[in-house]
Structure 1
């Protein structure tokens, strides 16, 4: 019989937990009985999210901080252990884009910051979480990549490069952990109705151009992403690791 898809009793860390995808994932996890450590930059948003979850009978705690802070991953793992007794799942969701400019016009500091937020931060959380998961002999890691990392994206060079790095890192880590009970996969969303659409550089023209490339003809919803993340985080996923799962409404041709 297949393993259950339930997340009941599982302990998860979710970065970027107050954004559209992060909040939908946190709510999806606790609805299924998971305990969640929610990380976000904004304390007020964290207080609101955790408050809503706990008032609804869910189990969650918040930790505010910048994912580029090298000490934050260890603090998050320690909080998961102190609050809930361990760690089973890491969802590397935090990320952001920058202005729409040609690659040769990108400022070096913008390049470094984009890679730090979208790639290096995921590596740092992996570095903190994996020894704990290996010791337990079980774990699930879901890294958020992007369709931009699969196919490139004009005028979003740093973001696309970082997300391509997430994909390569996921494939590498999947191979390294393949016999240790820890499964690692990535998701590659295209246009999702999340906070990214609210960025000042994300104009109506850019949105229309991207929307035209989606055969389903609509923007994806954060809750749809959360369902995929929940499956990839569940005990039911037993023979897929180092893979990239598409969330593009049919846009992907790779």
Structure 2
């Protein structure tokens, strides 16, 4: 059995949001290494150009397209530019996320609530809708939503962020159930503590890290590449009978 073909993304086009750094960029690099043409997106074009250049220098096919996913008017443009560049979309990774608050949930403003829900849930919903006409034409369509262990059980100080990630898990299951007939698989990954800039406030805090380590079976923070490897499984033929799944990569935090 040729396992290289099972995990191959040769000829596929992948659109990945929040991909100029961290988990999103790791997913993009692993997908590109597996043969995919990748479109990386985030808010700043100069950062995307730099990261796309890094991928291209390794012989990968990559393009950066700037988009603020919290602005719904920019999402159709992102999809249109992706299709203009590569002709289709086979894989969508909704990775972009925000969390502008940390503290008691009752101290979260309506403005912060709206921003979190727009970026973390509404953008994923709208991108799924916009990509649907292209995904349904693919021979191996896959949508991967990057949720969080906070979506399974609320995290301390991350109330509305946790709510948004729970909603993203539910959205994943809804799309998976409705899109099965269109042969589009939809799954969610729930990372635990991953050492990225996004989670820096946690892994640089000794008190918080000490508490977290007591709850981990694997006593370390995870890496972006470990999330990228799981995303490759979900994007490839290796997971061809998997949809509506919610996969934790958290060092055993949720055991």
Query: Under a length normalisation based on structure 2, what TM-score does the superposition of the two structures give?
Result: 0.93
Cα RMSD of the aligned pairs, angstroms, is 1.9
Tell me the residue number matched to 1:186.
188
The gaps in structure 1 that reach 5 residues or longer are none
Q: Relative to 1, partners in 2 of residues 1:199 and 1:251: Cα closer, same or farther, differing over 3 Å?
A: closer
| Structure 1 position 104, deviation (Å) | 1.2
Q: Relative to 1, partners in 2 of residues 1:98 and 1:209: Cα closer, same or farther, differing over 3 Å?
A: farther
Does the 8 Å CA contact 1:98/1:201 hold for their aligned counterparts?
no
In structure 2, what is the Cα distance between the partners aligned to 1:133 and 1:91? 12
Does the 8 Å CA contact 1:138/1:180 hold for their aligned counterparts?
no
Q: Relative to 1, partners in 2 of residues 1:7 and 1:243: Cα closer, same or farther, differing over 3 Å?
A: same
Partner SS for 1:148: helix
1:52 to 2:54 alignment: yes
2:86 aligned residue (78, 84, 87): 84
1:93 to 2:90 alignment: no
Does the 8 Å CA contact 1:98/1:156 hold for their aligned counterparts?
no
| Structure 1 position 44, deviation (Å) | 2.2
1:247 aligned residue (242, 246, 249): 249
| Structure 1 position 22, deviation (Å) | 0.8
1:61 to 2:76 alignment: no
Does the 8 Å CA contact 1:143/1:170 hold for their aligned counterparts?
yes
In structure 1, what is the Cα distance between the partners aligned to 2:86 and 2:66? 18
Count matched residues: 253
Q: Relative to 1, partners in 2 of residues 1:48 and 1:199: Cα closer, same or farther, differing over 3 Å?
A: farther
In structure 2, what is the Cα distance between the partners aligned to 1:236 and 1:201? 33
| Structure 1 position 237, deviation (Å) | 1.5
